[in-house]
Amino acid sequence: MIRKIVQYGHPILRQRCQPVTEINDELIELVNDMLETMVHANGVGLAAPQIGEDLRLAVIDVSHDPECISYLRINGKETALEDAMPLVFINPELELGQDKEFGMEGCLSIQGIRAEVRRPEEVKATLPQLDGTTLVVETDGLLARALQHEIDHLNGVLFVDRLPAAAKVSMKNRLKKLLANQDPA
C-alpha cells in the first residue's frame, strides 16, 4: 500500500526515532509499504518517519544507477550493487570517512527543493536486518550519500540542516513558502 509522505514542518521529521525492538507481521507489512511508496515517489530512499512512523527503520534502492558507486563491500566481500538492493535496515550505526565531497540532494519530504550538500565520500554502515543478521556495508558514491541521508532522518536531521550557512540563508524563504503552502490535513 502506498503511504502518504509527510512534508517539511511535520514534527516527526525533527525527532530521534525509537529503536525497532520486535520483528512481526505488522513491521514486515510496513517495510513492504515503504518500498512501494519509495518506488511510487521515484525516490532512492525512505525512512519510517517520512511516512509518520516513529521507528529506526529505512529502505534504500539505488540499483537504477549501477555506476553510482565505485565499490561495495558487504561483510568484507565485494558485492554487486544489484545483489544488495533494496537495502532494508533497522537500528543502524554509521561510521563516516574523512574525505568530503559536495553532491546534489533532494528529499521526498521537502518537495521541489534540491541543494548541494557536503558529506563524507565513504561510509561504513552496520545495518541490522529483519531476519536477525547484520550487514556491514562499506561503500561510496550515491549509496554512501543515501545511507547518510536516511540515517539522518532517523535522528531528526534533514538535508537542509547540512547546508553551509550562506545556502541556509538563501533557502530560508523557500522553506517558509513550503510551510505556508502545506495541506493542513
Q: What domains can be seen in the chain, in order of their start residue? A: 11-180 (3.90.45.10)
How far apart are alpha carbons 91 and 52 in whole angstroms?
17
Q: What is the dihedral of CA 142, 108, 39, 48, to 10 degrees?
A: 90
**Residues carrying an active site annotation:** 150
**pTM, full prediction:** 0.94
How far apart are alpha carbons 180 and 10 in whole angstroms?
13
The backbone torsions φ and ψ at residue 137, rounded to the nearest 5 degrees and listed phi first, read -105, 125
Sheet holding 122-128, edge to edge: 77-78, 72-74, 134-140, 122-128, 93-96
Q: Supply the pLDDT for residue 39.
A: 96
Q: Supply the pLDDT for residue 184.
A: 55
Name, in order, each residue with C-beta under 8 angstroms of 85's C-beta and a sequence gap of 6 or more.
60, 61, 62, 63
List C-alpha distances in Å: 184 to 15, 112, 120, 175. Answer: 20, 18, 36, 16
- Answer yes or no: is 149 a known binding residue: yes
Q: Supply the pLDDT for residue 12.
A: 97
Low-confidence ranges of the chain (pLDDT < 50): none
- Answer yes or no: is 17 a known binding residue: no
Q: Supply the pLDDT for residue 183.
A: 63
Convert the pLDDT of each residue in 51-97 to its tens digit.
Answer: 999 999 999 999 998 889 999 999 999 999 999 999 999 999 999 99
